Amino acid sequence: MTSLLVAHHLSGLLSLLAALWLWAELGAAQPAAGRCRRLALLLAHLAGAVLLLGGAWYVLAYGADRAVILRGPWPQAHGVAMEIKEHVVFLFLLAALYLPVLLRDPAWTDPSLRRLARACTVLVLLWGVAADVGGLVVDLGVRQGLTRPAPPAGGGS
Amino acid sequence: MTALSDRTAGFGLAAALAALADLALVLLKQTHPAVLAWLARSFGHHWIGHGVLIVGLYAGAGLSLTRAGLGRRVSPTLLFRLLLTAMAVSGGGIALFFALFD
């Protein structure tokens, strides 16, 4: 299960790098069509891998971490951070899946379409970073749960 | 005005629609336990069901809207505004919902 999580993190990191690279390529005076399309395809595949790997880990292994988080002092790491992460990641996927379609448009080098394509790369970056920060908070929530047990419910001093 | 291809317009509108559906499904799942239970029962886990419905909507609506031939009726600027607004509303709505009602 650890390897699933590592692969999820790595594919997420690579997808952010691919989005950043594509954003830079699209800003060139004469963007290279082949490279932009290959990058968009790579990004779409990486985003798919991020969801499949992270989803498999979430469905198969996250239950144990959730139990640790919920009995620790940071229950919001699940109730807020993980809940946001697991749902905004679909926005990340949608923006990544749309880019290869957009860059197949015969008029894709038109400034208005390139602006739309660059906006999609920014959306991938934005939702990707948001999901990554969510993952960080979840990791910290687990750590807090393991090292600092929550005080007994209703137990005043 | 630059004309979009029918596929660019169709899948762009589908992405905006699927983004809003993501928020709608979150609200529906969290406020109606029966929906959450149905997703879990039908797909093995509610998150898998959520993903299948969103990606399925994107693909299905994208193909349908492409066939509808909207390329000349949707400008790049309109698509840009629709897509960014839908993504912002959906992401912001999801974050607000869980931050306020956890």
pLDDT at A123: 97
B11 lies in a domain? yes
CB contact under 8 A, A90 and B3: no
Q: Is A148 exposed, middle or buried (0-12, 13-18, 19+ CB in 10 A)?
A: exposed
Residue of A nearest to B100 (CA): A80
Q: What is the pLDDT of residue B14?
A: 98
Asked whether residue B1 is assigned to any structural domain, the reply reads: no
Please report the beta strands in chain A, taking only residues with DSSP state E, as ranges in sequence order: none
Total tally of structural domains belonging to chain B: 1
Which domain does B75 fall in, by range? 6-101
Q: Using the predicted structure, report yes or no on whether residue B102 has a pLDDT greater than 90.
A: no
Sign of the C-alpha dihedral computed for residues A63, A147, A10 and A134 taken in this order: positive
Q: Do B19 and A88 touch (CB under 8 A)?
A: no
Please tell me if residue B94 touches chain A, with a CB cutoff of 8 Å. Answer: yes
Is the pLDDT confidence value at B87 over 70?
yes
B27 touching chain A per CB within 8 A: no
The label of the residue with tokens 């920014």 reads A122
Q: How much is the pLDDT for A157?
A: 42
**Chain A neighbors of B24, CB-CB under 8 A:** none
How many A×B Cβ pairs under 8 Å?
Answer: 107
- Residue % of chain B over a pLDDT of 90: 93
CA dist B35 and A1 (Å) reads: 29
Tell me the C-alpha distance between A115 and A92, whole Å.
Answer: 18
A151 pLDDT band (50/70/90 cuts)?
A: low
Residue listed under structure tokens 């596929």? B7
In a domain, B16, yes or no: yes
Written as one letter, the residue type at B7 is R
For residue A101, what pLDDT is reported? 97
Nearest neighbour of A94 by CB, restricted to B2, B15, B84: B15
Supply the angle between the helices B6-31 and B76-101 in degrees, to the nearest 10.
Answer: 10
A101 to chain B, closest Cα gap in Å = 6
The 10 Å Cβ neighbour count of residue A24 is: 13
Residue A155 has pLDDT above 90, yes or no: no
* Mean pLDDT, chain A, integer: 93
Taking residues B9-13, what's their average pLDDT?
97
pLDDT at residue A152 in the model: 64
Average pLDDT score over residue span A91-97: 98
pLDDT (0 to 100) of residue B2: 80
Furthest-apart CA atoms within chain A: distance in Å: 71
What is the ipTM for the molecules in this complex?
0.95
Q: Distance between CA atoms of A137 and A130, rounded to whole angstroms?
A: 11
pLDDT digits (tens, 9 = 90+) for A63-84: 999 999 999 999 999 999 999 9
What pLDDT, on the 0 to 100 scale, is given for residue A148? 77
What band does A154 get if pLDDT is binned at 50, 70 and 90?
low
* pLDDT tens profile B14-62: 999 999 999 999 999 999 999 999 999 999 999 999 999 999 999 999 9
pLDDT on residue A156: 43
* B61 belongs to a structural domain: yes
- The answer, for B72 touching chain A at a CB cutoff of 8 Å, is no
* Residue in A62, A67, A22 with CA at minimum distance from that of residue A46: A22
d(CA B7, CA A143): 47
In-domain check, residue B24: yes
Task: Please report the pLDDT score of residue A149 as a whole number.
Answer: 66
